[in-house]
Amino acid sequence: MGIGWAHIGTSITASFLASLVECVEALTVVLAVGSVRGWRSALIGSASAIAVLLLIIAALGTALTHIPLHILQLTVGTLLLLFGLRWLRKAILRAAGLIPLHDEAAAFSKNTAAMRQHGNLPAAWDKIAFAAAFNITMLEGTEVVFIVIAIGAGRAGTLLPASLGAVAALLVVTALGFILHRPLARVPENTLKFIVGVLLSAFGTFWVGEGLHLQWPAADWSILALIAAYLLLALATVPLCRNRSQTVASIP
């Protein structure tokens, strides 16, 4: 089966938005480390982690070609569905006001204060700055790698579009970080997570169906229908959660 434009477009979009969220969170910590401990070690640490992650993508992409396609689709589809539903659940709860929104400015202040507690700066190489930047980039980047592999592994030729979406997100966030030198607090992160949760859940459902040899109506265009269904369901769930929390709070 050939790769449809709907599949390519949604692969790039899902990968780009998911990677954008993770890159913004990593940028906040790297900026805090660099502003306090120095940019040289922080940037080298972050760049080293990115290089490791790219090697992991290349190695996994090659290894996955040896796994039967239906097993791969069923496995990555299940994992992607669970991953997407986790993101979507948290986004719904945040939209309903049940858990607080993620605040990049507050996270920046917290990480800046933590870096200042490590004492005086070394004359040249700063192992603390390197380790902190490397660790956060690896932590957030590992989720990006999983998303890229899961989106791109279900069909031959889709790993490249998914990878391009992730690289584009990295370049956008890196450029904004260099230009602004402050966390991207105005990025509507919960909205992005809401959208990404919908997209990943739709992709996961589609791959599980493919792995079970389900014949989707309209082939790849069914992904758009799944996205619409998950979006409508999620939007309907937000006021239900909000009303339920208000009802519970009003009980003496």
Q: How many CA atoms lie within 13 A of 225 on its CB side?
A: 8
End-to-end alpha-carbon separation of the chain, Å?
60
Q: Is the pLDDT of residue 123 over 60?
A: no
Distance of alpha carbon 35 from alpha carbon 221, whole angstroms: 46
User: By the 8 A CB rule, do 112 and 21 touch?
Assistant: no
Q: Distance between CA 136 and CA 143 in Å, rounded? A: 11
Q: What is the mean pLDDT of residues 33-62?
A: 83
Are 16 and 166 a contacting pair, CB within 8 Å? yes
pLDDT at 68: 78
Average pLDDT over residues 218-246: 85
CB atoms within 10 A of CB 187: 16
The chain-wide mean pLDDT, for the chain, equals 80
Q: Looking at the whole model, is its pTM more than 0.85?
A: no
Under 8 Å between Cβ of 151 and 169: no
pLDDT for 40 beyond 90: no
Residue-wise pLDDT tens digits, 53-83: 888 877 876 676 677 777 878 888 888 899 8
Written as six digits, the tokens of 197 are 């949760």
2 pLDDT higher than 50: no
The residue-averaged pLDDT of 233-245 equals: 85
Written as one string, the DSSP assignment of the chain is: -PPPHHHHHHHHHHHHHHHHHHHHHHHHHHHHHHHHH-HHHHHHHHHHHHHHHHHHHHHHHHHHTTS-HHHHHHHHHHHHHHHHHHHHHHHHHHHTTSSPPP-HHHHHHHHHHHHHTT-SPPSS--HHHHHHHHHHHHHHHHHHHHHHHHHHTTSTT-HHHHHHHHHHHHHHHHHHHHHH-S--TTS-HHHHHHHHHHHHHHHHHHHHHHHTT---TTGGGHHHHHHHHHHHHHHHHHHHHHHHHHHHHH--
Residue for token pair 């932590």: 139
Q: How many of the other CB atoms lie within 10 Å of CB of 171?
A: 11
> Please, is 222 exposed, middle or buried when counting C-beta atoms within 10 Å of its C-beta (0-12, 13-18, 19+)?
buried
pLDDT recorded at residue 1: 44
| pLDDT > 70: percent of the chain | 83
